[in-house]
Homo-oligomer: A and B are copies of this chain.
């Protein structure tokens, strides 16, 4: 029996209810460390645990719209100021027992944001905090959110290889060194500065020069760096591949 036969035979209100939510794995970089937007749960189950921001999909909005709304609410930024934030669908999670109270299918999304101010206190989002990803190993996350975060992180690392989305972690203008820092932070390993520099400039459409340079050199010395902005490429070709990961192959 297929979808259509079911629809003809069943009144939707009679069918076992499955609620649909969105959850957002929102990443940013602060102080050279990858941070994740989390919310402290106040109620059971998982009271006191951290959870991903998320909520029900409303009748009039699509999945990406719901995710964008949740992100806007939790960052306190407002939908309009989310312009430079990248948002994409990650995957859906629907194990029957993933929420002990009822059947919920969550469509997880992944967001890359530049360093945003903490949500203003007093808003609906005053419980939302950016926490370093490195500290997550010791914390328990609610529901299956640990798996969702793990999938989001792997997707993020992969996306940096093939797309110019690393620029979404930065402001509108940036140096090659700042861009390299994004890669090093997300991939968790140092890259060769000289090779990275030459590589980035050789990929068509990745970055374009603004003609300007930074006002000052680095805080610990060095020349003033040229400034770039994101180019028009949607895919990096050739890609910036991560250093070989033997463990991932087999």
Contacts and interface: CB of A to CB of B under 8 A. Distances in A.
Interface of A: 1-8, 10, 12-13, 15-21, 23, 39, 41-43, 51, 53-63, 70, 73-74, 89, 91-96, 99, 101-107, 124, 204-205, 232-235, 237, 244, 248-250
Nearest to A54: B3
Contact of A94 (B23, B57, B96, B124): B57
Contact of A55 (B2, B99, B204, B232): B2
A17 to B, nearest CB: 5
Given A12-B19, A57-B105, 15 more contacts: A1-B55, A1-B73, A2-B39, A2-B53, A2-B55, A7-B99, A15-B19, A16-B59, A20-B105, A57-B94, A61-B96, A62-B96, A204-B249, A205-B250, A237-B249
Nearest to A231: B250
Contacts of A1: 55, 73, 124
